[in-house]
């Protein structure tokens, strides 16, 4: 049995100061000297990140090395969640039958030698990802694009919004309560 081996990349650098996730097949734009180049990401057998550039083929140089500064490479686990979405290293999953929330996908070489789900409250205990059925798993985000997902804000519980109560005295002299949903001030201070 063979499994598809592929990677995605999180880049947080001068081109993407807020960070951006690149999935297999995505076109990427990077700075090369004082100009920008577009192409596809490649990872060679040494783990070096490369930019494939069709314009360079005539010059016998079909790729250029990319600095790994601000770059995180994540491997595809070979599994999909209940919605058919590919599960990668760094994804945050909800395990439907567990009451204790969300788990991060990690590769543990020591003892396990495979993909596991770790919970923020107990990094030394893990669940085997391969022992779960796809119907039990749902991707809720990843640790790069949603850094507060595993440790949610206590004010909004990670929702990013809070309900604010406003009280006014109406024309009839009665006190009326109105609720507005606003951005969480704690979460927005961290962005």
Considering 55, 72, 89, which residue would you say is the last residue of a domain?
A: 72
User: Is 147 part of any domain?
Assistant: no
pLDDT at 164: 79
Let me know whether 68 and 86 are in one domain: no
pLDDT at 191: 44
Let me know whether 59 and 87 are in one domain: no
Let me know whether 131 and 96 are in one domain: yes
pLDDT band, residue 183 (cuts 50/70/90) = confident
User: Is 2 part of any domain?
Assistant: no
This prediction has a pTM of 0.69
Considering 26, 45, 72, which residue would you say is the last residue of a domain?
A: 72
- What gap in Å lies between CA 71 and CA 41, rounded to an integer? 12
Question: 3-state DSSP call for residue 117?
Answer: strand
CATH of the domain at 103: 2.30.30.290
Let me know whether 51 and 86 are in one domain: no
Q: Which residue, 70, 65, 61, 74, is CA-closest to 44?
A: 65
- What gap in Å lies between CA 3 and CA 75, rounded to an integer? 12
- Cβ contact 164:179 at 8 Å: yes
pLDDT at 61: 46
Let me know whether 133 and 159 are in one domain: no
User: Is 1 part of any domain?
Assistant: no
Let me know whether 164 and 191 are in one domain: yes
Let me know whether 65 and 88 are in one domain: no
User: Is 134 part of any domain?
Assistant: yes
User: Is 60 part of any domain?
Assistant: yes
To the nearest 10°, the Cα dihedral for 68, 71, 74, 75? -30
pLDDT at 59: 46
Residue 49: count of CB within 10 angstroms of its CB: 20
Looking at the predicted structure, is the pLDDT value of residue 86 above 90?
A: yes
Let me know whether 14 and 68 are in one domain: yes
User: Is 34 part of any domain?
Assistant: yes
Considering 39, 72, 105, which residue would you say is the last residue of a domain?
A: 72
pLDDT (mean) for 76-99: 88
Structural domain including 51 reads 7-72
Let me know whether 64 and 99 are in one domain: no
Question: 3-state DSSP call for residue 150?
Answer: coil
Let me know whether 67 and 86 are in one domain: no
Let me know whether 11 and 67 are in one domain: yes
Domain count, the chain: 3
Let me know whether 135 and 159 are in one domain: no
């Amino acid at each position: 049995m063979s499994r598809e081996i592929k990677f995605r990349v999180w880049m947080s650098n001068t081109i993407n100061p807020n960070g951006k996730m690149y999935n297999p097949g995505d076109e990427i734009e990077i700075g090369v000297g004082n100009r920008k180049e577009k192409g596809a990401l490649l990872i060679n057998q040494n783990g070096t990140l490369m930019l494939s550039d069709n314009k360079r083929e005539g010059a016998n140089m079909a790729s250029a090395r990319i600095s790994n500064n601000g770059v995180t490479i994540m491997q595809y686990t070979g599994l999909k969640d209940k919605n058919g979405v590919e599960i990668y290293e760094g994804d945050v999953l909800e395990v439907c039958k567990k009451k204790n929330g969300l788990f991060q996908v990690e590769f543990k070489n020591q003892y396990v030698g495979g993909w596991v789900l770790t919970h923020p409250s107990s990094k030394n205990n893990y669940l085997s990802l391969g022992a779960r059925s796809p119907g039990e798993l749902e991707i809720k985000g990843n640790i790069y694009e949603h850094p507060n997902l595993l440790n949610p804000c206590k004010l909004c519980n990670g929702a990013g919004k809070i309900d604010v109560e406003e009280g006014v005295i109406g024309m009839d002299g009665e006190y009326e309560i109105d609720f507005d949903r606003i951005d969480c001030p704690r979460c927005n201070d961290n962005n």
